[in-house]
A and B are shown apart, each in its own frame.
Chain A
Amino acid sequence: DAGITQSPRHKVTETGTPVTLRCHQTENHRYMYWYRQDPGHGLRLIHYSYGVKDTDKGEVSDGYSVSRSKTEDFLLTLESATSSQTSVYFCAISGQRSGNTIYFGEGSWLTVV
């Protein structure tokens, strides 16, 4: 499983509330990613990080922010959740130890009502 843990795994929240998803890795990989998966859209990159405090936007970053204060943790925050952000969120890692291959966490199912 490449030592990736996501939390929470399932969450139901109300529109307008802030939500933070956490990704924790134990193998010191340099790169961490947040993807969302929706029917008909496959996997789309939200944000990624290439080191502590180094982050950048992906193709669907609007409405999301991220932080990486430690190598092992990458947080995804929805400042004010909307129903369009109902999705499955996957954290992923890559780096020299993974041969630059991307490995995914188990996913976080978020429902915004």
Chain B
Amino acid sequence: GENVEQHPSTLSVQEGDSAVIKCTYSDSASNYFPWYKQELGKRPQLIIDIRSNVGEKKDQRIAVTLNKTAKHFSLHITETQPEDSAVYFCAASREGNMLTFGGGTRLMVKP
């Protein structure tokens, strides 16, 4: 089955700096890669996703890049703000199959 590794497990940045979270996956047939943000005590919420037919996708301050050859994908947050502080999860699957999640990254943005 699919295995997703996520790094780092914790990340601390100054407000205004960029943050990068990286994930690797094992199943070369995986073609759907979502990212979820989870605030303390809340549900995980989808913030961006990418499919294997594109290499990069942006949504305002958030971008995701995908390298299918190396089987890794990354979340980039620019101009970080205190409200970006949360736990972020990456996931991977073949379209229509079960998602496998990474272990999560706790992002702390210091004002």
Contact = CB atoms under 8 A, between A and B. Distances in A.
Chain B interface, >50% SS class: loop
Contacts of B95: 100
A104 B89 contact: no
A101 B46 contact: yes
Nearest to B45: A104
A100 B51 CA distance: 12
Contacts of A41: 103
Interface in B1-58: 1, 6, 32, 34, 36, 42-46, 49
A104 B45 CA distance: 7
Contacts of A105: 43
Given A100-B96, A101-B34, A102-B34, A42 B46 contact: no
B49 A101 contact: yes
B98 A45 contact: yes
B99 interface: yes
A102 B92 CA distance: 12
Q: Interface centre among A44, A59, A104, by most B CB within 10 Å?
A: A104
Nearest to B4: A42
A90 interface: yes
B46 A43 contact: no
Interface in A82-113: 90, 100-107
B101 interface: yes
A42 B100 CA distance: 10
A43 B98 CA distance: 12
Contacts of B96: 100
Interface of A: 33, 40-45, 48, 58-59, 90, 100-107
